[in-house]
Chains A and B, each alone.
Chain A
């Protein structure tokens, strides 16, 4: 069983959410991926979206889920710079809608207090929280947070599971940054398939805190699957990473919503 934590519409062919999903599912089938988490709408993705942009983007995901809810789950894209609106958008898409998680990107550094109400609202619904992180030698974007900043956020919410997206890109740094935060898991997608990534993650975090995701279609499913297929770790660990960890994390909200896994 392979579930993919991290898929966007980017690079998939089609003019509508339905057409892009059909293309994504074609590739997912080819690569043995049963389900994927979908977030952000059609590119380009605004780094600091207005409420109107958030609505449009999330509507595209909702439209995709209408036809493809048996292959994908949706995460709502929120912006802590528009906190009141984001809380309402969470209610619309998650509490009252079919989405099961939250995507936070680069609008605001994630260690700031404005994120706390979003984390608390998501935790109350058992929604999965995915925070993008990177640590770039070439320099981060203004609101783009690092794994160390995510560690600060996670420390304020020690009972809430949070996913460290991209493991910071510089995964050797990222793994260390969140190692002590037992409520933080890592998403391994969206970086080069560098040999040794998953081995270090399993060694330092344990296999239960490592989650496969691709960042397709900007990334290929292939290069990201290879991180797990090629890792020198026991087969049961691969099964955890490929899907069981994510399924376990999603189980409470799926049960609450009466949705089938």
Chain B
């Protein structure tokens, strides 16, 4: 059983990703034993009609896959009236979480609007995913090249935001060193390993963060789903550790 916390629906604007059509995506996930997939929208990365993006995401997730896809809506605090997007995600679409793309939406994590968004999400018990990267900086489309999100401001915000459940996705280099460990102990902060590289990267990460803070995230269909799956195999973990990462840790996040 796998809970994949990092899946996308829709079309990535710069590349046709095989198997991204909804029926194929669902079949692929189910074939690997995924029982829940937390899905954001590729459309939310660049489009400004976020309300429309979230309506389509909710319809796609609720209309197919027998509950497999759990929608994580887009909120862009750099847009006017973003608070209503959060409200709609929560009240109208019953989304348990939101997914943020700060680098593509043009704000940094020390932006006061971001701090307010975390606060409002926490008050609503809406989980927050912050995506640090979508792909290797070196291979981005030259007209849409962004940098990895700087996570340094997060530590202060986590201390200030009671009830926040925060997932850091697609971490490559940042946060690192002491900040990585401090973030994971400061509050309810989780990480996935979709973009983590290097042989045996998962065991190395588990020396820095508690094992209950690591989540399975594939970044599929942008990445081949098998990448995350094989990283778990490469890690050589015991059964208890594997089960925690594959599903048990995530299963505790979206509860009441």
CA distance A170 to B196 in the complex (A): 19
Decide if A219 touches B138 in the complex (CB within 8 Å). no
Which of B71-79, B103-111, B225-233 forms part of the interface with chain A?
B225-233
Decide if A223 touches B220 in the complex (CB within 8 Å). no
Decide if A217 touches B198 in the complex (CB within 8 Å). yes
Decide if A226 touches B234 in the complex (CB within 8 Å). no
B residues near A230, Cβ cutoff 8 Å:
224-227
Most chain B beta carbons < 10 A, residue from A196, A217, A231: A196
- Interface residue? A199 (CB, 8 A): yes
Q: Which of B199, B220, B229, B236 touches A11 (beta carbons < 8 Å)?
A: B199
From residue 19 to 36 of chain A, which have CB atoms closer than 8 A to chain B? 24, 27, 30-31
Give 1 or 0 for each of A105-142: 1 = CB within 8 Å of chain B CB: 00000000000000000000000000000101110000
From residue 173 to 220 of chain B, which have CB atoms closer than 8 A to chain A? 195-201, 220
Chain A nearest Cβ from B185, distance in angstroms:
26
Give 1 or 0 for each of A166-183: 1 = CB within 8 Å of chain B CB: 000110100000000000
A residues near B254, Cβ cutoff 8 Å:
none
Given A136-B138, A138-B138: A194 touches B233 (CB 8 Å cut-off): no
A residues near B227, Cβ cutoff 8 Å:
193, 222-223, 226-227, 230
Q: Which of A170, A229, A232 touches B18 (beta carbons < 8 Å)?
A: A232
CA distance A24 to B198 in the complex (A): 12
Decide if A220 touches B137 in the complex (CB within 8 Å). no
Decide if B136 touches A27 in the complex (CB within 8 Å). no
Which of B60-68, B94-102, B139-147, B239-247 forms part of the interface with chain A?
B139-147
Chain B nearest Cβ from A158, distance in angstroms:
29
CA distance A180 to B82 in the complex (A): 50
CA distance A232 to B224 in the complex (A): 10
Decide if A220 touches B197 in the complex (CB within 8 Å). yes
Decide if A191 touches B233 in the complex (CB within 8 Å). no
From residue 116 to 145 of chain B, which have CB atoms closer than 8 A to chain A? 135-142, 145
For residue A214, which residue of chain B has the nearest CB?
Answer: B199
CA distance A231 to B227 in the complex (A): 11
Decide if B230 touches A137 in the complex (CB within 8 Å). no
Given A31-B233, A137-B140, A223-B227: A194 touches B199 (CB 8 Å cut-off): no
Decide if B230 touches A31 in the complex (CB within 8 Å). yes
Binding site for B on A (CB under 8 A): 11-12, 24, 27, 30-31, 134, 136-138, 169-170, 172, 191-196, 199, 216-223, 225-227, 229-232
15 new A-B contacts at CB < 8 Å, known A195-B20, A219-B198? A24-B199, A136-B139, A191-B136, A193-B223, A193-B227, A194-B222, A195-B221, A196-B16, A218-B197, A219-B197, A220-B200, A220-B201, A221-B234, A225-B230, A230-B227
28 pairs, CB–CB < 8 Å, chain A vs chain B: A27-B199, A30-B233, A137-B141, A138-B145, A169-B139, A192-B135, A192-B195, A193-B224, A193-B227, A194-B139, A195-B20, A195-B221, A196-B17, A216-B199, A217-B198, A217-B200, A220-B200, A220-B230, A221-B199, A222-B227, A222-B231, A223-B223, A225-B226, A226-B223, A226-B227, A229-B226, A229-B230, A232-B19
